[in-house]
Amino acid sequence: MSYSPQYTSEALVEAITQIDITDSTSPNSSQVLTWIEEVEKEVEERRLGSHTASDVYIDVPNTEEIEGYYSATYRAKTGQLYILTSMGAGRLVPLTNIKGPIISITSLYKNDEDPTDTPDWEQLTEGPGDGSDFILLQATSGSKTYGYALWIYDNFPLPGPKRLKMTYTYGYNVDEKILQEWCTLKVAIKVLQAKMGTSSGEGLTEFAGGDLGTYIPTQYQTRISLFKQRIAEIEATYFPHELAVAILS
């Protein structure tokens, strides 16, 4: 199955490089699509923008297993309210092995059936508010978030493995237009680097003749340097400086 680009495209790469890309050019459309896929996978790996994790199973610890987590400082994900968790007032469920930072929870279900029976998933309602069951908490230290937990204060789940199932969005808030430019520049550099091994002057509007063996690669390298400089500016201005959220354990 052919890859469907999310942020950039062959046309955008052609526009910024002023180089035509077809099935018969070097590099060709297939190679450029591969580069687009590689760069856009980096976006997901670095959790830039918004991504979705669907039907992620969550274990619910028992009272003894969870006791150590109550000493952490939590605040509601939706505001600055600090939550004083206490044994018996609700059930704290640490979200370990999840991708963060969490933007929002799309859905949360619990299953109270025996492990040998077919699951019967009941949806829980995010609060606060009348009829709600849970809120999302951040474990914080100063201004930094180092983990997440669910605070379930009604309709408690039973302890055990895979008792909850959650769909959520995660990632760092980087505008799609910024990610489009970043991805396009990254792929454009690969195209120009490939062109450096040829005698083509395509895309070099400043090309005016001379020694094809030295002049063309030098001009391509100048453009590559300019593109790298813009990439560095984007990363310094728009990308988070801490690309990792520690997991409570």
**Residue pair 204/219 in contact by the 8 Å Cβ criterion:** yes
**% of the chain residues with pLDDT over 90:** 60
Q: What is the mean pLDDT of residues 150-160?
A: 93
Q: Which pLDDT does position 139 carry in this prediction?
A: 77
Confidence grade of residue 247 (pLDDT, cut at 50, 70, 90)? very low
What phi-psi label fits residue 222: left (phi over 0), alpha (psi between -120 and 50 degrees) or beta?
Answer: alpha
**Residue pair 193/27 in contact by the 8 Å Cβ criterion:** no
**Residue pair 102/137 in contact by the 8 Å Cβ criterion:** no
Q: Which pLDDT does position 128 carry in this prediction?
A: 83
Residue 66 or residue 231, greater confidence = 231
Q: Which pLDDT does position 82 carry in this prediction?
A: 54
Does residue 189 sit in helix, strand or coil? helix
* Residue 217 backbone phi and psi in degrees, to 5: -60, -35
Q: Which pLDDT does position 243 carry in this prediction?
A: 44
Q: Which pLDDT does position 113 carry in this prediction?
A: 95
Confidence grade of residue 76 (pLDDT, cut at 50, 70, 90)? confident
- Average per-residue pLDDT for the chain: 84
User: 160-172: per-residue pLDDT in tens?
Assistant: 999 999 999 999 9
User: 192-243: per-residue pLDDT in tens?
Assistant: 999 886 545 555 544 444 544 444 556 888 899 999 999 999 999 999 875 4
Give the start-to-end residue ranges of the domains of the chain. Answer: 10-47+174-238, 51-170
Q: How far is CA 134 from CA 59, 87, 145, in A?
A: 16, 16, 19
Q: Which pLDDT does position 84 carry in this prediction?
A: 53
Q: Which pLDDT does position 13 carry in this prediction?
A: 97
pTM over 0.75: no
- Cα 125 → chain centroid: 25
